[in-house]
């Protein structure tokens, strides 16, 4: 039986129509749609004057207003490695695990065991490529999203009642503030995440894992779509509220990131995905009324990056889902047959494969989750493309130079 035949047969019992009459209200959709258009136009006074550059295919092209201004000083581009080798990370007594995050130095990596053979999800920590921590059974079900250069990991307990957690000095600590999750941590120990207040997710910052959460400012009447994409080394939290991206600076100031000025665009949505290498990477959608685009034509939309110091936008690609972004936005978690990721404005393709994968190279997909600042260490997860329950999910490390 092929996978297709098996899938169709297996899922056949779920076929059917929804029970009961429709509650869909077209008039309400039109009323709400009008309100959303007004919200899209909501714009707080920007404390940052945007020097927005129109960019085509990654080349910086200054618009007429900027012709007489000096070129902005941009962060240096990270240097891509010449070659990489790949190896499986050690698993100790576990048969499978997923890699979730890594620190800026590449020395610390964090993941979770895969319940491959009926076990549970335990946090695993690697230091210099060696497995050094396995969460005890009472802390099963805590998933870490990030780890810093001191080996402090942050994440959340997923089962039942989402709670933010950190792991520090051999102990698990529930972060203050109630339900929510921790998303990312700086090397200085500042944690970014979300907590739930009055049924709404709110972005928060903990100055250290035992601190009270600092509620980050939100626009009036915010939509429910709130995400934290990451935290910059200085503690600036970056995220998305509805169709706008925000920076929450260390002094508490909230700044809406001004969308890029796009040719002919009057309404532009931005969704921050990651903050790295001095830039904020965001999916940008041109949502302007106007002539329709054909399927597959991204128009102005695509993957962009924003440099906060100068307000510079650069367009990287017409598709926001391609090479991976090592962040926590909604468009960062997916698998690739040929692993690649954005490093600065370039794409690093990882052609090296571990010598001993559970499945053959041609039958393995990858999800990259960690890259060191010097691009010497990368890590991710390898999954078999075969629908074979005997093949475990394994963590992979690439060492480059």
Q: Which of residues 3-42 bind other proteins (CB under 8 A)?
A: 3-4, 6-20, 22-26, 28-30, 32-34, 36-37, 40
Q: Per CB under 8 A, does 76 bind other proteins? A: no
- Out of 41, 67, 224, 251, which residue is the one contacting other proteins (CB under 8 A)? 224
Nearest of 261, 270, 285 to residue 238 by alpha carbon:
270
Closest to other proteins by CB, 199 vs 220, is 199
Q: Give the Å distances, CA to CA, from 40 to 202, 259, 320, 340, 379.
A: 19, 11, 21, 33, 38
SS (H, E, C) 23-77: CCCHHHHHHHHHHHHHHHHCCCCCCCCCCCCEEECCEEECCHHHCCCCCCCCCCC
Closest to other proteins by CB, 76 vs 295, is 295
Token pair, residue 77, equals 């581009």
Using a CB cutoff of 8 Å and minimum separation of 24, what contacts does 218-223 make? Answer: 218/254, 219/42, 219/44, 219/244, 219/256, 220/42, 221/39, 223/39
Q: Give the Å distances, CA to CA, from 322 to 261, 348, 353.
A: 23, 12, 20
Rounded to a whole number of angstroms, the minimum distance from the CB of residue 165 to other proteins is: 13
Stretch that binds other proteins, among 2-10, 62-70, 168-176, 374-382 (CB under 8 A): 2-10
Token pair, residue 317, equals 């690609």
Q: Per CB under 8 A, does 290 bind other proteins? A: yes
Closest to other proteins by CB, 11 vs 67, is 11
Report the distance separating Cα 260 and Cα 314, nearest Å: 9
Interface with other proteins in residues 188-207 (CB under 8 A) = 194, 196, 199, 201
Report the distance separating Cα 254 and Cα 217, nearest Å: 6
Closest to other proteins by CB, 25 vs 128, is 25
Closest to other proteins by CB, 160 vs 170, is 160
- Out of 174, 330, 340, 376, which residue is the one contacting other proteins (CB under 8 A)? 330
Radius of gyration over every alpha carbon of the chain, rounded to an integer in angstroms:
22
Rounded to a whole number of angstroms, the minimum distance from the CB of residue 239 to other proteins is: 14
Rounded to a whole number of angstroms, the minimum distance from the CB of residue 337 to other proteins is: 5
Rounded to a whole number of angstroms, the minimum distance from the CB of residue 131 to other proteins is: 23
Rounded to a whole number of angstroms, the minimum distance from the CB of residue 153 to other proteins is: 18
Q: How far apart are the first and last CA of the chain?
A: 45
Q: Per CB under 8 A, does 295 bind other proteins? A: yes
Interface with other proteins in residues 90-119 (CB under 8 A) = 116
Rounded to a whole number of angstroms, the minimum distance from the CB of residue 365 to other proteins is: 5
- Residues in the interface with other proteins (CB under 8 A) total 73
Interface with other proteins in residues 355-394 (CB under 8 A) = 365, 383-389, 391
Closest to other proteins by CB, 3 vs 169, is 3
Stretch that binds other proteins, among 78-86, 132-140, 159-167, 340-348 (CB under 8 A): 159-167
Nearest of 300, 220, 312, 219 to residue 258 by alpha carbon:
312
User: What contacts 257, CB < 8 A, 6 or more positions away?
Assistant: 244, 245, 246, 247, 270, 272, 280, 282, 306, 308
Report the distance separating Cα 83 and Cα 76, nearest Å: 21
Nearest of 389, 378, 382, 374 to residue 77 by alpha carbon:
374
Nearest of 261, 260, 264, 221 to residue 241 by alpha carbon:
221
- Out of 102, 151, 180, 258, which residue is the one contacting other proteins (CB under 8 A)? 180
In the chain, the largest separation of any two C-alpha atoms, in whole Å, equals: 67
Interface with other proteins in residues 129-158 (CB under 8 A) = 156, 158
Closest to other proteins by CB, 20 vs 220, is 20
Closest to other proteins by CB, 26 vs 67, is 26
Closest to other proteins by CB, 299 vs 311, is 299
């Amino acid at each position: 039986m092929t996978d297709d035949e098996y899938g169709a047969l297996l899922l056949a019992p779920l076929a059917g129509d929804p029970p009961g009459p429709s509650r869909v209200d077209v008039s309400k959709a039109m009323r709400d749609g009008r309100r959303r258009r007004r919200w899209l136009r909501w714009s707080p006074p920007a404390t940052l004057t945007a020097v927005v550059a129109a960019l085509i295919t990654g080349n910086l092209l200054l618009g007429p207003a900027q012709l007489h201004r000096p070129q902005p000083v941009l962060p240096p581009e990270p240097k891509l490695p010449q070659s990489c080798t790949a190896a499986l990370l050690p698993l100790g007594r576990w048969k499978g695990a997923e890699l979730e995050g890594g620190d800026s130095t590449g020395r610390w990596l964090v993941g979770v065991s895969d319940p491959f053979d009926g076990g549970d999800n335990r946090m695993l920590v690697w230091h210099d490529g060696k497995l050094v921590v396995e969460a005890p059974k009472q802390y099963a079900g805590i998933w870490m999203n990030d780890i810093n250069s001191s080996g402090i990991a942050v994440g959340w307990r997923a089962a039942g009642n989402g709670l933010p957690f950190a792991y520090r000095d051999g102990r698990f600590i529930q972060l203050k503030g109630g339900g929510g999750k921790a998303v990312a941590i700086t090397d200085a120990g500042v944690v970014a995440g979300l907590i739930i207040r009055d049924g709404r997710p709110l972005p928060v910052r903990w100055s250290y894992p035992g601190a009270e959460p600092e509620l980050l400012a939100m626009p009036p009447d915010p939509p429910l779509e709130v995400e934290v994409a990451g935290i910059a080394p200085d503690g600036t939290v970056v995220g998305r509220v509805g169709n706008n991206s925000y920076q929450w600076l260390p002094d508490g100031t909230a700044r809406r990131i001004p969308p890029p000025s796009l040719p002919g665009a009057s309404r532009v949505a931005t969704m921050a995905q990651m903050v790295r290498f001095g830039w904020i990477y965001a999916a940008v959608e041109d949502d302007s009324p106007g002539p329709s685009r054909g399927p597959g034509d991204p128009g102005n939309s695509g993957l962009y990056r924003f440099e906060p110091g100068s307000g510079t936008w650069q367009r990287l690609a017409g598709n926001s889902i391609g090479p991976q972004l090592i962040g926590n936005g909604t468009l960062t978690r997916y698998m690739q047959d040929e692993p690649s990721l954005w490093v600065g404005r370039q794409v690093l393709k990882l052609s090296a494969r571990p010598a001993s994968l559970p499945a053959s190279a041609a039958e393995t997909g990858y999800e990259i989750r960690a890259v060191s600042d010097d691009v010497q260490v990368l890590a991710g997860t390898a999954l078999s493309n075969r629908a074979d329950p005997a093949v475990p999910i394994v963590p992979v490390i690439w060492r480059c130079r």
